[in-house]
Amino acid sequence: MSAIFVEGLTKRFGQLTAVDSLTFTIRKGEVFGILGPNGAGKTTTVRMLVCILKPTHGSATIAGYDILKEPEKVKKIIGYLPENPSLYERLSAVENLDFYAELYEIPRNVRIRKIKELLEFFNLSNRKNEKVGTYSKGMKQKLALARALINDPEILFLDEPTSGLDPKVAKTVRDLISKLAKKEERTIVLCSHNLAEVEKLCNRVMIINRGKMVDIGTVDELAKTLRDRSRCIVKVKLEEVSKRIIKELQKINYVKSIRVSGNSFLVELEDEDLIPEFAKEVTKVGRLISLNPLKPTLEEVYLGLVEKDENK
């Protein structure tokens, strides 16, 4: 079942097309990453999905509710953490959360318990009555996350959730995101520049550039797209590597290059499909210990796809 369904979503500001005909679906319980360079249209896309901006064209449904016809219902079931913590600095943490809980019409007794739980979880209880203006950047980010969770949202939109957090707290947040998606089946839309984080957390990723979708899929699928379009590298480990073996392998017509490092070497092949054949050739010339295709990191995939799009 799709939690988010987006069709032809477009946003124009005068002559500028910030988001151009985006179409995608996000399944329930999925952690979905949106990647793109600055100004690619990530924030505008999210702002349309959380009903802050109205699309110029196209439509979207969030848990079955239309963002144009039923914005109030959409807002009730989502949590949103914008890029900026967006907190009231003259108010305390409790007052910030209490205000939002009132807007979500959470009954008073539930509200008090929920605020207490969230502040304890994010380790903010000891300063809960102090003005937020006196908090560190990390504390503000934690409080903003707590606010996004105040209504137990079905769907969470998180823009740079670990920005400004120390590694320990960032891990807590990542664990929380995983838990919310896996155990509680919440859908999470994550915008981040931290590619390692996206790779670790997201089931699928959408890369956008200049408002348009460049590609969408799992990290492996995106890597395959990139490989199909460019190169395939395998790491080969032999019991013993000699100049003779390297020379023999270099004679193979689909081997583009070989780089030796100790008793292993990196081989660039023309195509991924040639790996089994190449493995046979290797066993003919030496004692093979391992042969593994090198999986590009999300960063390599991302940079490769964006660069390709820029060169269009």
Partner 1 sequence: MRINKVLAVFKKDYREMRRSEKVWTILIPSIIIVIVTPLINLLHPEAMTPQTQQQIEEIIAKPPPEIAPEIQNMSPEQALRYMIAIILAMPIFTFFPLIVSVPVATDSFAGEKERKTIESLLAAPITIKELLLGKMFLSFSLSVCTTWIDFILYTLIVNIVNYPLFHTVMFPNIFMILFVVTFVPLISFFGVSGTVIVSARARSMREAQQLAGILILALIPIIAVPLISGLFLSKIFIILFSLFLLALDIILFIISVNVFEAENLVIFR
Q: Does 239 bind partner 1 (CB under 8 A)?
A: no
Of 42, 75, 204, 210, which lies in the binding site for partner 1, with binding defined by CB under 8 A? 75
- Using CB under 8 A, count the residues that bind partner 1: 33
Binding mask 20-59 for partner 1 (x = CB under 8 A): ---------------------------x--xxxxx-----
Angle (nearest 5°) at CA 96 between 151 and 158: 55
Q: Does 121 bind partner 1 (CB under 8 A)?
A: no
- Taking the C-alpha atoms of residue 282 and residue 30, their distance in angstroms, rounded to an integer, is 41
Could you tell me which stretch among 24-32, 142-150, 174-182, 289-297 binds partner 1 (CB under 8 A)?
142-150
Provide, rounded to whole angstroms, the least separation between the CB of residue 165 and partner 1. Answer: 18
28, with CB counted inside 10 A (0-12, 13-18, 19+), is: middle
Q: List, in sequence order, every beta strand (DSSP E) within 128-251.
A: 155-159, 187-191, 204-209, 212-217, 232-238
Q: Which is nearer to partner 1, 14 or 262 (CB)?
A: 14
Could you tell me which stretch among 91-99, 194-202, 234-242, 303-311 binds partner 1 (CB under 8 A)?
91-99
Q: Which is nearer to partner 1, 72 or 239 (CB)?
A: 72
Q: Which is nearer to partner 1, 110 or 196 (CB)?
A: 110
Q: Which residues contact 284 (CB under 8 A, 6 or more apart)?
A: none
Task: Give the number of other CB atoms < 10 A from CB of residue 129.
Answer: 10
Provide, rounded to whole angstroms, the least separation between the CB of residue 38 and partner 1. Answer: 16
Q: Does 220 bind partner 1 (CB under 8 A)?
A: no
Q: Are the beta carbons of 199 and 297 closer than 8 angstroms?
A: yes
Of 103, 196, 279, 289, which lies in the binding site for partner 1, with binding defined by CB under 8 A? 103
Of 4, 6, 26, 87, which lies in the binding site for partner 1, with binding defined by CB under 8 A? 87
Query: Strand order of the sheet with strand 16-27?
Result: 16-27, 2-13, 57-62, 65-66
- φ/ψ of 39, rounded to 5, equals 80, 10
Of 86, 123, 230, 242, which lies in the binding site for partner 1, with binding defined by CB under 8 A? 86
Q: Does 89 bind partner 1 (CB under 8 A)?
A: yes
Q: How many helices (H) and strands (E) does the chain have?
A: 11, 14
Q: Minimal CA–CA distance to 206: which of 44, 39, 23, 62?
A: 23
The number of residues in the chain equals 312
Q: Are the beta carbons of 285 and 266 closer than 8 angstroms?
A: no
Structure tokens at 94: 């409790």
Could you tell me which stretch among 99-107, 160-168, 232-240, 263-271 binds partner 1 (CB under 8 A)?
99-107
Provide, rounded to whole angstroms, the least separation between the CB of residue 24 and partner 1. Answer: 20
Q: Does 108 bind partner 1 (CB under 8 A)?
A: no
Provide, rounded to whole angstroms, the least separation between the CB of residue 82 and partner 1. Answer: 4
Residues at the site binding partner 1, with contacts judged by CB under 8 A: 13, 47, 50-54, 72, 75-76, 78, 80-82, 84, 86-91, 95, 99-100, 102-105, 131, 144, 147-148, 157
